[in-house]
């Protein structure tokens, strides 16, 4: 279970976490009209190392723009200062996740997205992996990933996570760790809150950005790390049976890090243990997340 830190930020003010709340009549509560991102921070002697903060803020801005919120740039322009104040108030002693959400906090406006009051909340909690580290088993869901033509897949919109919750609960109920979503065309999309990669004949393959995926920041980082070490990569449509016959499969995301998947729909993947390319990439990602001088890190 996550332990939420005692202070949160709400519209730039640092307040006790349990006072950071929204009205039951807000659009955010009524329609799931909020957008968010979660980023990881490693706790070190040097300070908190926040992973790829600018990319998370860009995705937040783009999510807002895709669903038609007014420009959120003014709302997030001071976010670094707010984060510093929040960290100072909470004084974390372990690795953290930060959840930054922009809520349509306007009261009962009907289903529209423009000219609404928007509020920014940030809270932090101890970073616990959402998947088992070496033995994740997943199940293809009967629920399809919400299509980009229904709710933009590459926007991180709170309401769209009903789709993830349905599929993940179903996977848990049948003894699995997570679901595997196919899209409306029957191709592999992603997990409930993580992207997916497979390794076949030495090539690293992941569903492309037209496969109704969230464009994960960890996914992009892994593609860049693979290029650095000379692993060939491909972003394309992926069929379910390619996963069944892959040498290695892993999930990735801010809260999944890199989690090897050892079985899908009861079929053992590769040797049923984390593969060597998966291990190499996991080590590279950990090294980047632990290096205060890395380009991808903002030090707090």
Return the DSSP state at 4. B
Interaction with ligand PMP in 33-62: which residues (CB under 6 A)? 38
Nearer to ligand PMP, 37 or 119 (CB): 37
Q: Which of these, 140, 144, 196, 147, lies nearest to 171 by C-alpha position? A: 140
Q: Which of these, 154, 228, 232, 233, lies nearest to 189 by C-alpha position? A: 154
Q: Does 206 bind ligand PMP (CB under 6 A)?
A: no
Minimum CB distance to ligand PMP, residue 59 (Å): 7
> How many residues touch ligand PMP (CB under 6 A)?
12
User: In Å, what is the CA distance from 271 to each residue of 106, 116, 243?
Assistant: 53, 53, 13
- Residues β-bridged to residue 26: 107
Nearer to ligand PMP, 49 or 116 (CB): 49
Report the DSSP pairing between strands 13-16 and 7-10: antiparallel
In angstroms, rounded to a whole number, what is the distance separating the alpha carbons of residues 296 and 28?
Answer: 31
Interaction with ligand PMP in 253-292: which residues (CB under 6 A)? 253-254
Give the binding range for ligand PMP (CB under 6 A) out of 109-117, 136-144, 209-217, 283-291.
Answer: 209-217
Q: Does 64 bind ligand PMP (CB under 6 A)?
A: no
Q: Does 218 bind ligand PMP (CB under 6 A)?
A: yes
Nearer to ligand PMP, 106 or 278 (CB): 278
Q: Residue from 5, 28, 48, 214 that binds ligand PMP (CB under 6 A)?
A: 214
Helix axes 217-228, 276-289, angle to 10 degrees: 110
Integer-rounded Cα Rg, in Å, for the chain is: 19
Return the DSSP state at 107. B
Interaction with ligand PMP in 171-190: which residues (CB under 6 A)? 190
Minimum CB distance to ligand PMP, residue 271 (Å): 26
Report the DSSP pairing between strands 118-126 and 96-104: antiparallel
Nearer to ligand PMP, 116 or 146 (CB): 146
Q: Does 238 bind ligand PMP (CB under 6 A)?
A: no
Q: Does 204 bind ligand PMP (CB under 6 A)?
A: no
139, 179 Cβ separation under 8 angstroms: yes
Q: Does 136 bind ligand PMP (CB under 6 A)?
A: no
4, 13 Cβ separation under 8 angstroms: no
Q: Which residues bind ligand PMP (CB under 6 A)?
A: 38, 190, 193-195, 214, 216-219, 253-254
């Amino acid at each position: 279970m996550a332990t939420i830190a005692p202070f949160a930020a709400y519209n730039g003010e640092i307040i006790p976490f349990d006072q950071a709340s929204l009205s039951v009549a807000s659009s955010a509560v009524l329609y799931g009209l909020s957008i968010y991102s979660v980023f990881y921070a490693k706790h070190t002697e040097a300070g908190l190392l926040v992973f790829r903060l600018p990319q998370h803020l860009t995705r937040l801005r783009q999510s807002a723009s895709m669903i038609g919120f007014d420009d959120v740039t003014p709302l997030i322009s001071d976010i670094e200062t707010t984060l510093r104040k929040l960290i100072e108030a909470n004084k974390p002693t372990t690795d953290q996740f930060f959840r930054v959400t922009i809520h349509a906090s306007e009261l009962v406006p009907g289903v529209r997205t423009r000219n609404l009051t928007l509020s920014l909340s940030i809270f932090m909690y101890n970073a616990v992996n959402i998947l088992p580290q070496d033995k994740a088993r997943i199940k293809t869901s009967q629920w399809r990933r919400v299509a980009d033509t229904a709710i933009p897949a590459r926007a991180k919109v709170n309401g769209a996570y009903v789709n993830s919750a349905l599929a993940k609960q179903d996977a848990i109920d049948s003894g699995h760790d997570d679901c595997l979503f196919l899209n409306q065309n029957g191709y592999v999309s992603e997990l409930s809150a993580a992207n997916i990669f497979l390794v076949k004949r030495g090539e690293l393959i992941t569903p492309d950005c037209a496969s109704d995926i969230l464009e994960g920041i960890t996914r992009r980082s892994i593609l860049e790390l693979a290029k650095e070490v000379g692993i060939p990569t491909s972003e394309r449509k992926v069929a379910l049976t390619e996963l069944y016959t892959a040498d290695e499969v892993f999930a990735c995301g801010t809260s999944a890090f890199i989690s090897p998947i050892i079985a899908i729909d009861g079929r053992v993947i590769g040797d049923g243990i984390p593969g060597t390319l998966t291990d190499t990439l996991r080590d590279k990602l950990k090294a980047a997340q632990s290096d205060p001088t890395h380009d991808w890190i903002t030090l707090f």
